[in-house]
Amino acid sequence: MGREFVEKEKIVESLNWRYAVKLYDASRKVSEADWKLLEDAMLLAPSSMGIQPYKFIVVKDPETRERLKSVSYGQTQITDASHLVVFAYKKTLTDTDAEKLIDRIAGVRGTSRESLADLEASIRSAAKKAVDGGYVETWNSRQAYIALGFLIETAAMMGIDATPMEGFDAERYNEILGLDDHAAVAVAAVGYRDAENDWLAPLPKVRKDPADLIVHV
């Protein structure tokens, strides 16, 4: 018996159903089981060399969420969605990051650290190159966006709404959340739309002509 896949028709249907919700129904909460699945989706996102140079900060405290809203142009999704995740990328990479990753691989796969020496060297070298080249923050934040994408798409498949958001003051987020070696780069509000009152809910999705985006060569 092969494993089951999501029905193909359901994929495009779900992706068309999803939109960047502006108004959430604050009374509807994502169940714990569903939330666990969404956390799994973020954890299972791919990252360059498997470094996962980020943290997903799930903000539960209502007061903190109010403060975050005040530095997010007052966008109500920040407080009204069932869950709020701040994606924070790691500001630098050191040999310790490479070491920890190798320890983890050795532990999970039951292989010796010695057999992973070449891999450790390439991770160290890539990290150093990114730091020296001044692009480590760009590199790490890009990785965080992949997890953001995984979260949004998985939520859509589950009939859960999610709004990706960059409309906030990242510096203030870092202060409010007490971030030090990480920095906020994106947010996802997750919950259930208020379909009756969200002005965007009834409007058709707008995308470029596929021919302008997808190039077959």
Ligand X SMILES: Cc1cc2nc3c(=O)[nH]c(=O)nc-3n(C[C@H](O)[C@H](O)[C@H](O)COP(=O)(O)O)c2cc1C
Q: Does 75 bind ligand X (CB under 6 A)?
A: yes
Residue 23 sits at φ, ψ, to 5 deg, of -125, 120
Q: Does 143 bind ligand X (CB under 6 A)?
A: no
Q: Nearest residue to ligand X, using CB?
A: 167
Q: Does 141 bind ligand X (CB under 6 A)?
A: no
Q: Does 36 bind ligand X (CB under 6 A)?
A: no
Q: Does 103 bind ligand X (CB under 6 A)?
A: no
Q: Does 167 bind ligand X (CB under 6 A)?
A: yes
Taking the least distance from each CB to ligand X, the nearer of 88 and 165 is 165
Mask 172-191, x = binds ligand X (CB under 6 A)? Answer: --------------x-----
Task: Mark the segment that binds ligand X (CB under 6 A) among 15-23, 105-113, 153-161, 191-199.
Answer: 15-23
Residues that bind ligand X (CB under 6 A): 19-20, 22, 75, 163-167, 186, 205
